[in-house]
Chain A
Amino acid sequence: MTLDSEVNIQQPDDFYQALIEAHAGLSDEQSAALNARLVLLLANQIGDLNTLRQAIAAARALI
């Protein structure tokens, strides 16, 4: 599996809204905890280590 850069999410705006709303009312620390849990849940959904490594590298490359 290779990392998808094209749109894969069916309703991108709905997803983004849900993501932001999940953080509503949280402290920075709580938001960071939520993000960490989300990363782990989504990583398990992807499963393939090679794809995960590509995603990690892609995120890191922008820093």
Chain B
Amino acid sequence: MHPPPPIYPYVTPAELRSGGVGRTRVAIVGAGPVGLACAIDLAQHGIDFIIVDDNNTVSAGSRAICWAKRTLEILDRLGCGDAACARGVSWKVGKVFFRGKLAYEFDLLPEPGHKRPAFINLQQYLLEEIMVERLGALGHRVRWKNKAVGVTQREDGARLEAETPDGRYAIEADYVIAADGARSAVRGMLGLAWKGQVFRDRFLIADVSMHGDFPTERWFWFDPPFHSGGSALLHKQANDTWRIDLQLGWECDPDEEKKPEHVIPRIRAMLGPDRAFELEWVSVYTFQCARLERFVHDHVIFVGDAAHQVSPFGARGGNSGIQDADNLCWKLARVVRDESPASLLQTYNDERVEAANENILNSSRSTDFITPKSHASRQMRDAVLALSQKHDFARRLVNSGRLSTPTAHRASDSSTHDSDSFNCALTPGAPAVDAPVQVAGRDTSLLDRLGGRFDLLVFDANEDMTNALECEFGSSLRVARIAPERSSSEAAFADAEGLASRRYDAQSSAVYLLRPDQHVAARWRTPSVAEVRSALQRAQGIA
């Protein structure tokens, strides 16, 4: 059994003790994983903020469970990666069964030399606990039991009203971040339209506690013998907890299906009659693919499920939310410090709308496969599954969820298009890729050493160019040299295995300008100081 969820203390807000209107740079509404990611990132940037949540504990039920490699890299930058990976279950293999037989198998990270695995599974409530702890270590706390009840735009910011056990207060902020989830109250307060597609299907979701000897792989069944006509999913989480997901169809009665007398026989049929298990949490859900038209509304900025929603197949909800926070916070930090104009936030909007569209597209396609909307669609789906038994090509059409990958913002206004040719998967706008490197003789990972500020990664370049870049940019950004041979300097990375050089197609020379969120802003073979300056200003929204 699990320990009970933590209860966090409510503290009377300063505004209610003093009676005045509060003042902060950024007010975050919602302390789920996405709001907490924003809070930690802003704390690391040294920005004054508050974060409010209407509850005083973590989320109920596991909800988001699969955290993708890119999200783990962001959590590393936020100081939560080790704790999350220590408690989570690593996995990379997915198997899809049709009528009890293996139809398709995928490996999400077939190559070595990455610090983080393809995925870990960790219940949302456990990740939230880790993030609350990290925020505390940074000297900040969530204002628990502070419910946002009003958000109004002002000329120079936004005003947040919150209700607490001691009454109401108001706080004025330069910006409000709405991280209050799929049923965002802030979205309602601003009267914003929520457009998309609701899928007519219902799924039973359950957390089951058991000692299972199933491998830590994602197992997905279409039409299994134990749940005829529907789909099923089994996936291991931390603490011997397993996620089970069963398709019930639109016509079922969700209140009836939630009752243990209905749930337990279904799960027993799946796990076998001899398996002892305990039901931890159960819910019946429907889902939709929808988003706000814009994520930035003057001084109110939407992140995570408050901005966009997808089906759970593909783990694109929680992951894209953390990636929203990663994209937003360095920009917001620059804007509230007057280092960049407010128009920089438009690039958050454009890039994350692009990501939401990509996630919604992938999620809708998976849903069309899992929940065919017409007889013809079901026939085609069943034909794919039937062919997959014997024909390789059909296995690639089987879609039980295309799992979260980060969006490469190729067309972003922030990115400088290549003027030199590169031959690698990495492109401008994409997140930097990891590789093992050595710093001052110690083994480490490249991504652990990057981010939080602009980096200029200089591969084995000619000495004159590197010196010129260091001389010009050494104070405004971090210039890191990377070369095959080891060096005792903390500012030099050794690429002993040559993997970094290969993954960045460095050949004889390459220079990468990376944003504080580790995305590639620009790259060249041998750039001039002026070219780097221009790309830096473009990424900072100054040009």
**CB distance B393 to A37 under 8 Å?**
no
Taking a contact as CB atoms closer than 8 A, the residue among B386, B394, B397 that contacts A33 in the complex is: B386
Known: A32-B379, A36-B379. A44 touches B386 (CB 8 A): no
Q: When A and B form their complex, which 9 residue pairs have the shortest distance between CB atoms, in order from nearest?
A: A36-B383, A44-B393, A37-B383, A36-B379, A36-B380, A32-B379, A40-B383, A37-B387, A40-B387
Prevailing SS type, chain B contact patch:
helix
Cα–Cα distance between A32 and B378 once the two chains are bound (Å): 11
Task: Point out which of B380, B383, B393 has the most chain A C-beta atoms below 10 A from its C-beta.
Answer: B383
**CB distance A41 to B380 under 8 Å?**
no
19 example contacts (A-B, Cβ-Cβ < 8 A) are as follows A32-B379, A33-B379, A33-B382, A33-B386, A36-B382, A37-B383, A37-B387, A39-B380, A39-B383, A40-B380, A40-B383, A40-B384, A40-B387, A40-B397, A41-B387, A41-B391, A44-B391, A44-B393, A44-B394
- Return the CB mask of A15-32 against B: 1 if under 8 Å, else 0: 000000000000000001
Query: Closest CB of chain B to A33's CB: distance in Å?
Result: 6
Query: Closest CB of chain B to A16's CB: distance in Å?
Result: 22
Query: Closest CB of chain B to A29's CB: distance in Å?
Result: 8
Contacts of B379 in A (CB 8 A): 32-33, 36
Query: Closest CB of chain A to B216's CB: distance in Å?
Result: 32
Query: Closest CB of chain B to A12's CB: distance in Å?
Result: 25
- Return the CB mask of A36-50 against B: 1 if under 8 Å, else 0: 110111001000000
Cα–Cα distance between A41 and B388 once the two chains are bound (Å): 11
Prevailing SS type, chain A contact patch:
helix
Cα–Cα distance between A52 and B383 once the two chains are bound (Å): 18
Q: Which residue of B lies closest to A37 (CB)?
A: B383
Task: Point out which of A32, A36, A41 has the most chain B C-beta atoms below 10 A from its C-beta.
Answer: A36
Contacts of B394 in A (CB 8 A): 40, 44
Cα–Cα distance between A40 and B379 once the two chains are bound (Å): 11
Query: Closest CB of chain A to B354's CB: distance in Å?
Result: 22
Q: Which residue of B lies closest to A29 (CB)?
A: B379
Q: Which residue of A lies closest to B375 (CB)?
A: A32
Q: Which residue of B lies closest to A38 (CB)?
A: B383
Q: Which residue of A lies closest to B394 (CB)?
A: A40
Cα–Cα distance between A44 and B380 once the two chains are bound (Å): 14
Cα–Cα distance between A10 and B165 once the two chains are bound (Å): 82
Contacts of A40 in B (CB 8 A): 380, 383-384, 387, 394, 397
Contacts of A32 in B (CB 8 A): 379
Contacts of A41 in B (CB 8 A): 387, 391
Q: Which residue of A lies closest to B382 (CB)?
A: A33
Besides the known contacts A33-B386, A39-B380, A40-B383, 15 further A-B residue pairs in the complex with CB atoms under 8 A apart? A32-B379, A33-B382, A33-B383, A36-B379, A36-B380, A37-B383, A37-B387, A40-B380, A40-B384, A40-B387, A40-B394, A40-B397, A41-B387, A44-B391, A44-B393
- Return the CB mask of B371-382 against A: 1 if under 8 Å, else 0: 000000001101
Contacts of A33 in B (CB 8 A): 379, 382-383, 386
Contacts of B386 in A (CB 8 A): 33, 37
Contacts of A36 in B (CB 8 A): 379-380, 382-383
Task: Point out which of A32, A33, A40 has the most chain B C-beta atoms below 10 A from its C-beta.
Answer: A40
Cα–Cα distance between A33 and B382 once the two chains are bound (Å): 8
Contacts of B380 in A (CB 8 A): 36, 39-40
Q: Which residue of B lies closest to A36 (CB)?
A: B383
Contacts of A37 in B (CB 8 A): 383, 386-387
